[in-house]
Amino acid sequence: MLLSSLLVRYALGGVARNVAECMSKLGTKPYMISAVGLDMAGNLLLEQWKSAELSTEGIQRHQDIETAVVCNIFDGKGELAAAVASVDAIEKFLTPEWVWKFSWKIRSSPVLMVDANLSSPTLEAACQLAAESKTPVWFEPVSVAKSKRIASVAKYVSFASPNEDELIAMANALSSADVFSPIKREDIHIKLSVRSLFQMLRPAIQVLLEKGIKVIVVTLGSDGVFLCSSEKHEFDGLNFRDVKSHSFSRQLYEIVNSSCHRNGILNVTRSKGSFYALHFPALSASVVRLTGAGDCLVGGTIASLCAGLDVMQSVAVGIASAKAAVEADSNVPAKHCLTNIADGARLAYFGARPVFCPSTL
C-alpha cells in the first residue's frame, strides 16, 4: 500500500510582482505596469497592492483578462520539481500601446525593470522609452526559453540577472547560434570550485558584456552570485535619480553604507579584452522553500540601488533578502527585519572575492 500526502497552497507570485513586493518591504515605492483579470487571483493581487499603499494605476483590468497563474510542484526538500505556467494574458494585453500610456512614469523613474514575460515588441517599446530619458534598464530573464528575448533589447540594458542556464541561452541568442552549452551538473560528482564554475561561464558572460550590458548578476543558487562588469567604475553604481524612501530604507542605507566600506577587493588591473568579476558566497539558511529567492535577490538589489548604495553593497543586500525568502513559507517574507538584512549584507559583502584578475592571466 502506498501512502502520500499533498498540500495545496495559493500564493501571490510572478517574477515582477515578487520583485516589486520585496522592494516595497525594503522601503521603496515600485510602480507596476501589468494586466490582471477580475478573477480571484486578480482581486487578491489588487488588494495586496492597495494594502501596501502602492499605485494600481498601471495595472490593466477587465473581464477579458485571465490573470497569469503558475502551478509549482515542490519536492520534500523545498526544491521546485515541476511547473506549469499560463501567462498568455501578459503577452496579449501588455502591449506597446499600454506601456506608452505610462511613458511619463518610465522617463521619471530611477530604474526600469522589465521581465521576459513581455512580448518582444513590448520589451522594445519600454526599453526605448527608458533610453530616451537615460533611465537604466534591468532585464530579468524569467526562464531559459524567454531569456532569449534579450536579443532585441540588449543595447538598452544596463543590468541583467540570469541564472547560469539563462546566461547560456542569452549568450546563444546574442550570438545567433548555439555556441555555448549548459553546465551538466548531474554528470559531475565533485562540487565545482568557484574558479572552475567561473571559467566555464566566462565566455558567455563576455558575450553579454560585449553587447553593451553594463552589469551582470549571475545567480548560482547555493554557490552564490557572480557580479561582472567590463568597467570597474560600474561597481560604484549608475546615476540613479533620487527617490523617496521611508525610514526603513534610510536606516538600511545608513547601516550598510557605514559598515560595508571599501575593503580593497577591487584593487585589480585589467588587460585588454577582459572584465572584472566578483564572487559573493550564498548565506547559510534554514531552507523552507526556494521559490522567490532569485526574485528577492533582484528586489533587494534594486531597492538598495534606489536608496543610494553602490552596486556591491546592493548585491549584498539582495543576497540577504534572498536568504530571508528561502526561510519563509511565502515567495516574499511578510516582513523584513532590518537587523537581519543588514547583518546578512555585511557577511555577503565582506565574503566577496575577485574570481578573475586580468593582470595575472
Phi, psi of 350 (to 5 degrees): -80, -5
pLDDT above 50 for 350 = yes
Class of domain 94-356: alpha beta
pLDDT band at 138 (very low <50, low <70, confident <90, very high): very high
* Distance, CA of 230 to CA of 277 (rounded, Å): 9
pLDDT per residue over 45-74, tens digit each?
A: 888 888 888 888 999 998 888 888 777 776
pTM of the prediction?
0.90
The residue-averaged pLDDT of 199-205 equals 94
pLDDT above 50 for 1 = no
- The span from the first CA to the last CA of the chain, in angstroms, equals 61
User: Any alpha helices (H) in the chain, and if so which ranges?
Assistant: 15-25, 40-51, 88-93, 96-100, 103-108, 120-132, 144-147, 164-175, 194-210, 247-259, 293-307, 311-326, 338-351
Compute the mean pLDDT over every residue in the chain, rounded to the nearest whole number.
85
pLDDT above 80 for 123 = yes
Task: Give residue 321's Cα distance to chain centre.
Answer: 11
* Distance, CA of 33 to CA of 50 (rounded, Å): 14
Q: 223 by DSSP, 3-state: which? A: helix
pLDDT band at 102 (very low <50, low <70, confident <90, very high): very high
What are the sequence ranges of the domains in the chain?
A: 94-356
Exposed/middle/buried for residue 157 (C-beta within 10 Å: 0-12, 13-18, 19+): buried
The residue-averaged pLDDT of 197-206 equals 93
Helix or strand (DSSP H, E) at 86 = strand 80-86
Q: What is the share, in percent, of the chain residues with pLDDT greater than 90?
A: 49
pLDDT per residue over 274-305, tens digit each?
A: 788 999 999 987 777 777 889 999 999 999 99
The residue-averaged pLDDT of 211-227 equals 94
Per-residue cell: 322 = 534572498
